[in-house]
Amino acid sequence: MTAGLAARTAPERPVPVPPPVEPARLPRRLVRNKRAVAGLVLLAVLCAVAFAGPLLSPWGWNDTDFTAFRQGPSARHWLGTTQSGRDVLALTLRGTRRSLVIGMAVAVLSTGLAALVGMVAGFAGGWLDRILMWGTDLLLVLPSFLVIAVLAPALGGGAAALVPLLAGFLWMITARAVRGMTASLREREYVLAARFLGAGPARVIGRHVLPQLASLLVVDAGVNVSVAVVAESGLSLLGFGVRPPDVSLGMLIAAGQGTATARPWPFAAAAAMLVLIVLAINLLGDGLRDVLDPAPRQRRSGR
């Protein structure tokens, strides 16, 4: 009993936190990770096809071939044409570019906002922490899809309206996770030492807190790209997303679903690109998490 009481009253040893990966070692660790390499290569190929493909195509995404309505794949139109005579390949590449731009912009904004709110709340504490978390909890209970569906048409639709709306509803859960990790890191010895030496809050967060959250933020950004692409496709499928004459993958899927059994090429091309984008981003995000996460290095070192 005395030994058990002594064990319970003994001060807990702080869990050592390994330093983040050195920037010079990141490329070598990234190359060794098969998932990261596969996701990066697939995403690079998709971006090259989406952005450079139209330069090699004789048809623009808004061109109409009045001699080919609802025709199948041929030498003139590799993926066929729509019922209005537009080239399916050109439309798919245009929709892929639009969806990629929207997804990446949403990921940058939402992850950046989550990191900012979470680190400020966790590091400052007190009344500022309570106010920020109260606002975060308030946004969490709102039906985000319905709010976006109502506000997007009122704001004119298109990417300019979708990007801030989607980003505004994708950061709350990550912000709470960042806040909890920041509050824990705030009590670490090296953070306290930096503060005692006179380092300001911004310098302490940038030098000692943010590197420890890199793996979480990278994975969150990857997930947000996938979520934003799928959400934009769903909103466009229901008519609340990108407005004609512009196109997105969701619009192409919606336009081709009625004839998916008889003439599957418009629907299949857009759906395949959507699946490949989500797969590439998820592979890259998981690989970067393994590269940046300090936990595997801690286990290998025996600590």
Token pair 């793996």 in the structure block, residue = 215
pLDDT at position 202 is 81
Q: Which of 263, 253, 282 is nearest to 92 (CA)?
A: 253
Compute the distance between CA of residue 230 and CA of residue 141 in angstroms, rounded to an integer. Answer: 21
Give 263-276 pLDDT, tens digit per residue. 788 888 888 888 89
Residues in contact with 33: Cβ distance below 8 Å, sequence separation at least 6, in sequence order: 287, 290, 291
Contact (CB, 8 A) for 248 and 126: no
The residue ranges of the chain whose pLDDT is under 70 are: 1-27, 157, 260, 293-303
Report the length, in residues, of the chain. 303
Using DSSP, state whether 41 is helix, strand or coil: helix
- Strand pairing partners for 81? 87
CB burial readout 140-165, b (16+ within 10 A) else e: eeeebeeebbeebeeeebbbebbbeb
pTM of the predicted structure, to 2 decimals:
0.78
pLDDT at position 22 is 54
Task: For residue 281, count CB atoms less than 10 angstroms from its CB and return exposed for 0-12, middle for 13-18, buried for 19 or more.
Answer: buried
